Structures are given as structure tokens and as C-alpha cells.
Amino acid sequence: MEYTLEEQSELSVCPISTAYVDFTEAQLTVRLQIAKKIHARFMEMDSTMPSWAQEAYTQCPMWGFYTHVTHPGSSCMRVYGAMEDDGMHVESAHIWFTNDVIGGVPRDNLVRVDRWSASQKECLRLNNAPGWFLDPIAFIRWIAEHYA
């Protein structure tokens, strides 16, 4: 995978971590570019992925930040898997811990957000692995290490 000089520089200045990092807008933009490249590479490499999974990852890509339709200002979630019944496997952030949402979340209940709100960032600051939720690259790397 080819990274631009700007992307290489960002990765050397701020390595991937699970720690809390308050990224600048410019840093987050570059890190999202990198995460999108990694996600596209996953999609391109897996020739066995059924069409329903391709559709799910197109609608809810792993690089995205998600909240829940019924409580959009408070929940923080990241997608790590697709379910055949239109659900997505997600990790959700809470104060002190990260939770694997048992049974998944229906795709229609996930709302992708560009950035976390101030109150969501406060919750993430107290989470055990805030980098998974703040850094689009960290979460994808975690998925690759644990599920690949």
C-alpha cells in the first residue's frame, strides 16, 4: 500500500496507540485518509466476501465513527464486523471500559458522525482504550491484529 509523504509524516509524528490523543483537524483528516486506504485494501483483498458483507461495509465502513440513532449525543461506537441479517458487530465506549455489543446493532440504527462531540470526547477520555475510538487507524489496526 502506498502512503503519501504527508501520511508517512503523520504516522511517524504520531504513532498508532490506544491512548487519548486530541488530534488537530489536519491530523484527523490525514488519519482518515489512511484508514480509508486500509479499509479499501481489505475490501479489495478478500475475494471470498459475500455480496451482503460488501454492502454492509460500504454502508458502515470500519473507518467511521458511529453513534446510535436513539441517543446520538452520547454513544460512541466503531464497526468491526458485518452480520448477514443487516446487523453490524460494534465496540462501544463507556467510562472505564469498552464493550462488544452482543447481538450487534442493526445498520439502520447506526449513524456515522464526522467528529465526536465534546461530551462524547469526555466519555472517551475516561475509557480504557480511547485511541480505538479517536483514531480511525488504531481501530482498524486492532481489528487486523485480533481478527485477521
**What tens digit of pLDDT does each residue of 107-122 get?**
999 999 999 999 999 9
Q: What is the C-alpha to C-alpha distance for residues 139 and 27, in angstroms, rounded to an integer?
A: 16
pLDDT value of position 17: 78
Q: What is the C-alpha to C-alpha distance for residues 136 and 33, in angstroms, rounded to an integer?
A: 9
Q: What is the C-alpha to C-alpha distance for residues 3 and 134, in angstroms, rounded to an integer?
A: 21
**What tens digit of pLDDT does each residue of 77-108 get?**
999 899 999 999 999 999 898 888 988 999 99
Q: Where in 4-100 does DSSP place strands (E)? A: 65-68, 77-82, 87-93, 98-100
Strand partners, 110: 68
pTM: 0.87
For residue 15, name the pLDDT band (cuts at 50, 70, 90).
confident
Q: Which residue is it, cell 483537524?
A: 25
Domain spans of the chain?
A: 5-12+23-147
Backbone angles phi, psi at 79, to 5 degrees: -85, 135
**What tens digit of pLDDT does each residue of 124-143 get?**
999 998 988 999 888 787 77
pLDDT value of position 46: 87
What number of CA atoms fall less than 13 Å from residue 73's CA on the CB side? 2
